[in-house]
Amino acid sequence: MIELRDVKKRLGSRQILDGMTLSVPKGMNFVLMGPSGSGKSVTLKHVIGILRPDAGSVQVDGQEVPTMDRTQLMALRRRMGYLFQNGALINWLSVEDNVALPLREHSKLGRGEIRDRVHEVLKMVQMDHAAAQSPPSISGGMKLRTGLARALVTKPEYVLYDEPNAGLDPIISQQIHELIVEVRDSLGVTGLIVTHSRACAVHCGDRIGILDHGKLGLEGTVDEMVHSEHPLARAFLGGGSD
């Protein structure tokens, strides 16, 4: 379980998080929506300990993240995959080597074991045919699938998805949504998904929360949120929104 309680965070002159409280139960996909610049990525960075709160608590399975030392943070990050916006691949490494990176950094597996694991996870995201290609030569959807493979290669219990379909067309987005659902249902991964997209939220989510002025302004099941008359729900999940 991921749990933020009353988190406050100031960056520069702005109070970005101001009483942010959110919990993601095991096995669920929690979707976090909100305007651009409202602190969604900042929230994810607190969960993996890249940022520390000024006040409040950030816990993963009851362990306080901000007070973890380096070793504990490394252990946490082995259990937590992070899918960055646009995949964030390294251009001069092949698809295969990008996916192998977390294992080379965080595991003691031998070369052969790493290769096997990398191909297993590339197969899951249907990228095994493109293992030798380099990121500049593949499409946006393929980059994202590679990023997802890299997030999954350590067999994490949690995956944090930052705008998994930004810049992708609806058909490719739909494939990514299906993968995210498969990751939850087949691998039992707990997900925290940041997105602007109504389609992503409705397809992938179990619960949806909307960030407003530094805290969750509204939260509920997908069904509750889609049918809610609350202005925040209408703005992000109404018929006219994507």
Contact set with ligand ADP (CB under 6 A): 11-12, 16, 34, 36-42
Nearer to ligand ADP, 212 or 224 (CB): 212
Distance between CA atoms of 35 and 97, rounded to whole angstroms? 35
Residues 30 and 209: beta-carbon distance below 8 Å: yes
Q: For the CB of residue 216, give the shortest distance to ligand ADP in the complex, in Å.
A: 13
Order of strands across the sheet with 207-212? Answer: 80-83, 158-162, 190-194, 29-33, 207-212, 215-221
Q: Taking CB within 5 to 8 Å according to partner kind, which of Mg ion, ligand ADP, none is near residue 42?
A: ligand ADP
Q: For the CB of residue 40, give the shortest distance to Mg ion in the complex, in Å.
A: 5
Q: For the CB of residue 196, give the shortest distance to ligand ADP in the complex, in Å.
A: 9
Q: Taking CB within 5 to 8 Å according to partner kind, which of Mg ion, ligand ADP, none is near residue 24?
A: none
At 82, list the tokens: 């992070």
Nearer to ligand ADP, 13 or 186 (CB): 13
Q: Taking CB within 5 to 8 Å according to partner kind, which of ligand ADP, Mg ion, none is near residue 34?
A: ligand ADP
Instruction: Return contacts of 220-226, CB within 8 angstroms, 24+ apart.
Output: 222/31, 225/201, 226/202
Q: Taking CB within 5 to 8 Å according to partner kind, which of ligand ADP, Mg ion, none is near residue 22?
A: none
Nearer to Mg ion, 27 or 35 (CB): 35
Nearer to ligand ADP, 39 or 147 (CB): 39
Looking only at Cα atoms, what is the longest distance across the chain? 55
Rounded (10°) angle between helices 95-106 and 111-124? 130
